[in-house]
Amino acid sequence: MNYTYTETQRERAILVGIITDDVTEAEVHENLDELERLADTAGAIVAGRITQNRPYAEPSTYIGKGKLEELSRLKDFQNAELVIFDEELLPRQIKNLENILKCKVLDRTGLILDIFASNAKTAESKTQVEMAQLEYLLPRLTRMWTHLSKQKGGIGTKGPGETQIETDRRLIRIRIANLKEKLAKIQTQKFTQRKSRNELDLVTLVGYTNAGKSTLMNMLTNANVLVEDRLFATLDSTTRLTYLDSNKKILLTDTVGFIRKLPHHLVASFRSTLDEVRNADVLLHLVDLSHPNFREHIHAVEETLLELDIDSKPILIVFNKVDQVQDSDLLHQVRFEFPNSVLVSAYRGMNIPELKSQVLAILENGYTELTAELPQDASKALAYIHSVSQVTDTTYFETTVKLKFRVNKRHETSIKEMIESYHREALYKSFQ
């Protein structure tokens, strides 16, 4: 067995993964590489790794008895205080592992939640993280309450002690319900904010974590968004005004990065943050072309977009960090494989005009030509049309005004309904 050793000053951790019929050895090592970066982000030093070939995870301890003994020896040899498993563990697995290893045991989900808790800055992200943590904790309460093991059986001993776990579960469910209510209020406030800027096209950055979204955001908008070479450095969405050309103003939003095997309930908790993705007119899918597994990253992001039911949006793939790619054959291959993509370096500002041009072309394709004739005193309707569209022609008649305008298709239905309501009102008045 080959172990990877590092010097340590922080909490020392051992990583564990299994190679099954469904996951190859290469994929497991790639996942452990990512898990090591997650551990580093959380503040741990990875002192070693261990893997096992087996057809499926051991129900009680995830890995087999012999490998567990080997893990225990490695943990003691490296003075590790933490063991991190690459898959989500069952509550009984965590309990059994901690009893045997005599140290903290985390799974990938618990590690990601810890990082999210450290990086949450706004009321929204803090609420989302707490809700995700409680939902993760709920089925694992049995291992948290060691005082229950001291109870003795017999008549007269059943009562509050025996129902302690259920009491705690009920309190957690109440807290989750309160957090959901709080989150709904935050979402309502954000919806009101979005309505106030509804006239502008929204372009949203998505991508695998650490693909360079925040760097591109800063390049395009001077937003001063935190840029750090760590996973999940940014949790909260940031929206800024920018120009694609001298006449085209848009809103650009940076969002939380995606990752392989991102826990489903965590995605659910962050749905409100990802509403900026759902409401976008165009998605810029940023890809770190310098990463050897960039294709797997593309697939992971596409899976998450599918899970959020927003994969039908217009998407432009933006290959970033091309200045770090030395292989010219790879650049040619990517251009051939993804003909409608654009290659940039957000850090160096390379090919940014081409990126803006392609985004502008996609947005223009999302517009439609409409004509409306309204009463001249329909001030609210006329103001709304002017606010959300580009009026190309105005003709005044005796009591009405006729407008020709170009509008984003997402406003088409609301404008047509508004026009029809004015026509119905005019028809009703004509019969009185």
pLDDT of residue 146: 43
Report the pLDDT averaged over residues 339-363.
Answer: 94
CA–chain centroid gap for 174, Å, is 26
Residues contacting 322, CB < 8 A, separation 6+: 289, 290, 331, 343, 344, 345, 350, 351
Span 139-178, pLDDT tens digits: 776 544 443 344 444 333 344 444 567 778 888 889 889 9
Higher pLDDT, 138 or 15: 15
Question: How far apart (Å, rounded) are the C-alpha atoms in residues 48 and 79?
Answer: 11
What is the spatial distance between Cα 36 and Cα 47, in angstroms, rounded to a whole number? 10
Task: Read off the pLDDT of residues 213-238 as tens digits, 9 standing for 90 and up.
Answer: 889 998 998 766 655 555 565 556 77
Give the dihedral sign, CA 161/166/167/169: positive
Beta bridge partners of 50: 16
Q: pLDDT above 70 covers what percent of the chain?
A: 81
Going by their DSSP bridges, the two strands 201-207 and 248-254 should be labelled as parallel
The whole-angstrom separation of Cα 1 and Cα 376 is 82
Among all chains, which residue has been given the structure tokens 């050897």?
A: 292
CB atoms within 10 A of CB 63: 22
- Categorize the per-residue pLDDT at 37 as very low, low, confident or very high, splitting at 50, 70 and 90: confident
The residues facing 106 across adjacent strands are 84
Tokens of 245: 């050309």
Q: Which amino acid is at 73?
A: R
Angle at Cα 162 formed by Cα 159 and Cα 164, nearest 5°? 105
Average pLDDT, the chain: 81
> Which residue is listed with tokens 């309450």?
145
Is the CB of residue 206 less than 8 Å from the CB of residue 285? yes
Q: Are 301 and 207 in contact (CB under 8 A)?
A: yes
3-state secondary structure of 259: coil
Phi and psi for 230 in degrees, rounded to 5? Answer: -145, 155
Is the pLDDT assigned to residue 264 strictly greater than 70? no
Most distant CA atoms of the chain, gap in Å: 93
Q: Using the predicted structure, report yes or no on whether residue 291 has a pLDDT greater than 70.
A: yes
pLDDT at 2 > cutoff 50: no
428 CB-near residues (< 8 Å, 6+ apart)? none
- Alpha-carbon gap, residue 315 to 308, rounded angstroms: 15
More confident residue, 103 or 381: 103
Q: Is the pLDDT of residue 198 over 60?
A: no
Closest CA to 120 of 259, 235, 257: 235
- Taking only the tens place, the pLDDT of each residue in 42-61 is 889 999 999 999 998 999 99
pLDDT at 17: 94
pLDDT exceeds 70 at position 30: yes
d(CA 238, CA 254): 5
